[in-house]
Every structure is written in C-alpha cells, then in structure tokens.
C-alpha cells in the first residue's frame, strides 16, 4: 500500500464532505426561511399562514426532504379510514394539507402547529407528508 499523497488526501476530504449530506449547503437554502429545516430538525419558528407563501417562493426543488412548520386554524379535517387530512390556512394564503395517521381529536377551528415533509403542489397548495400536528402550548 502506498502512502497517501497530498492530492489524494484533499480528494478524500472533498468526497467525505460531499457524502456527509445536505447540511453543508443547506444554510443558504434556509436563509430567510425560519419555518423550514432539514428533515426531522427543529425550525427557528413556525410560520403563520400569512408567512408561508413568502418563505416558500423561490425555494428550489431539492433532492432531499425538507420540513415546514406552520401554525394556523384548521379549515378541514377528513379521513379516508386510514389517513387523516388536516387542512389549515385559506386564500389568499397558501393552503396546507397535513397528512397524518391520527386526528388527535382536532376539529375545524382548532389552532394547530403542523410539521412535516414539504411538497409544493402548485402556487396555492402545500402538502406535508409525513406530518405531525399538535395543539400549541398555552
């Protein structure tokens, strides 16, 4: 086995950094977007319904999962018998649908915090899947 050269050592470090995941370059993606984070990571603060459009506009399509955390009042609560669909925010704000496994007794009008895998469906709709929903602490 030959000793590592300076060039091969630098190449190895670059490869290790590239393989370490999205954290290295993610800071720029989340600048000015405190309600977004890498998957399963805490956010700086959840977005109010009125903030989601501004924070999400211009967000590039990424090849890894990012999460959005938002707070608002439930506009709809529905189930297909397996999944629950919790919808918050209304026009002119982006509507957010949280896809989850439990309703936790939440009902239309309840104020909730949702957090989950962000997917922008179109200009006016976001889906969070998987998603967790909780009532804000008083």
40 contacts: CB under 8 Å, gap ≥ 6 = 67
Instruction: Please give the model's pTM, rounded to 2 decimal places.
Output: 0.78
What are the CA-CA distances from residue 73 to residues 48, 50, 68, 79, 138 (Å)?
Answer: 10, 12, 16, 18, 15
Indicate whether 50 pLDDT > 80: yes
What are the CA-CA distances from residue 63 to residues 21, 38, 66, 125 (Å)?
Answer: 11, 12, 9, 20
Indicate whether 135 pLDDT > 80: yes
Q: Where are the domains of the chain?
A: 6-134
Indicate whether 3 pLDDT > 80: no
Angle value at C-alpha 66, between 56 and 101, nearest 5 degrees: 105
According to the model, what pLDDT value does residue 29 have? 86
Q: Where are the alpha helices (DSSP H) in 1-138?
A: 6-19, 23-30, 49-56
According to the model, what pLDDT value does residue 6 have? 54
Indicate whether 14 pLDDT > 50: no
* Structure-model confidence comparison of residues 130 and 13, the more confident one: 130
- 6-134: what CATH class? mainly beta
């Amino acid at each position: 086995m030959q000793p590592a050269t300076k060039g091969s050592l630098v190449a190895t470090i670059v490869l290790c950094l590239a393989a370490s995941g999205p954290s290295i370059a993610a800071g720029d993606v989340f600048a000015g977007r405190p309600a977004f984070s890498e998957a399963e990571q805490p956010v700086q603060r959840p977005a109010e319904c009125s903030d989601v459009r501004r924070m999400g506009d211009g967000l590039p399509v990424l090849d890894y999962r990012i999460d959005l955390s938002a707070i608002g009042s439930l506009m709809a609560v529905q189930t297909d018998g397996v999944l629950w669909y919790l919808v918050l925010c209304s026009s002119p704000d982006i509507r957010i649908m949280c896809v989850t496994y439990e309703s936790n007794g939440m009902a239309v009008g309840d104020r909730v915090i949702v957090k989950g895998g962000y997917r922008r469906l179109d200009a006016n709709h976001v889906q969070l899947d998987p998603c967790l929903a909780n009532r804000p602490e008083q």
